[in-house]
Amino acid sequence: MNSSCPDETDAVARRYARREQAAQARAAASAGPDRYSLLQPDVWQTVQERQRAMLRLLAAQGWHDLSSRRLVEVGCGAGGNLLEFLRLGFLPEHLTGLELLPERHTQARRLLPDGVTLRLGDAMQAGLAPASVDLVFQSTVFSSLLDDDFQQRLAEVMWGWVRPGGALLWYDFAFDNPRNPDVRGVPLARVRALFPQARLQARRVTLAPPIARRVCRWHPALYTLCNALPLLRTHRLVWLGKPA
């Protein structure tokens, strides 16, 4: 998110604001539980599946002790992912969250320990030192960036933060969402183009949310059954390793 491209930065903020308004409108109209609450069976199935996949990736790299690893999340939102990383073994003082939206930054500050560093504003102006981070994480940020040049600049900045032997961990939509014009899927070929020097490992994850919501109303175990079909998975988890 570069100050040389304020239009796209502002557009991202507007897209997220529209999503938040739409979510609030759905909740008010239904008078039911929050669609994204962890109390919903489809949501906890999705989160736990992603956690298991991430743990397998970390273990495959030999990252068994995370207490010395430094991690930065771009687009940390209200802090839920950083909270997960704390539970995995990262220390608060080794975690940094970058967030564009003030209200989400405030929510994250309330949720997370004081030791976690949170920075509000443009990620490309974060001032992080080159090669200073073991792991850079992004979750559904790039699918919200509709300008190719903007994507490329952000990718280059993020890659610059990763030390040799470190990695960028990517979780994002693999396909377009026909119901949401504010996002677009990021094909694996595009991920490769954004990070041409990376050693890439990828897997499809996350049962399509509309299917997950429907089948979990019948029984949560149906999530695992349906998710056994790779064609029904909408996201991609990618490990982008930087050669040592």
- CATH classification of 6-241, choosing from 3.40.225.10, 3.10.129.10, 3.40.50.150, 3.40.50.300? 3.40.50.150
HEC secondary structure over 113-148: CCCCEEEECCHHHCCCCCCCEEEEEEECCHHHCCCH
Residue 218: count other Cβ atoms within 10 Å of its Cβ: 9
The model's pTM: 0.90
What does residue 166 show for φ and ψ, rounded to 5 degrees? -90, -165
Number of H helices, E strands in the chain: 8, 7
Query: What is the percent of the chain where pLDDT is above 70?
Result: 90
Average pLDDT over residues 124-138: 96
Lowest mean pLDDT segment, chosen from 18-27, 136-145, 154-163: 18-27
Average pLDDT over residues 70-90: 97
For residues 18 and 80, the model is more confident at 80
- Which tens digits make up the pLDDT trace of 1-56? 334 456 777 777 777 767 666 555 555 566 566 888 989 999 999 999 999 999 99
Are 170 and 240 in contact by the 8 Å Cβ rule? The answer is: yes
CA dist 170 → 25, 113, 196 (Å): 30, 24, 14
Distance CA 233, CA 216 (A): 15
Name 170's bridge partners: 138, 238
Report whether pLDDT(162) > 60.
Answer: yes
**What residue spans define the domains of the chain?**
6-241
Task: Give SS3 for 61.
Answer: coil
Report whether pLDDT(230) > 90.
Answer: yes
Distance CA 112, CA 105 (A): 11
Tokens of 167: 């990695």
Cα 86 off chain centre by: 16
Beta-carbon contacts of 69 under 8 Å, excluding residues fewer than 6 positions away, are 63, 90, 94, 134, 135
Q: Which residue has the tokens 């070929």?
A: 189
Are 197 and 159 in contact by the 8 Å Cβ rule? The answer is: yes
Q: What pLDDT shows up at residue 81?
A: 97
- Which tens digits make up the pLDDT trace of 169-196? 999 999 998 888 889 999 999 999 999 9
CA dist 229 → 27, 61, 216, 226 (Å): 31, 26, 16, 6
Q: Select from 127, 116, 108 the least CA-distant residue to 90.
A: 116
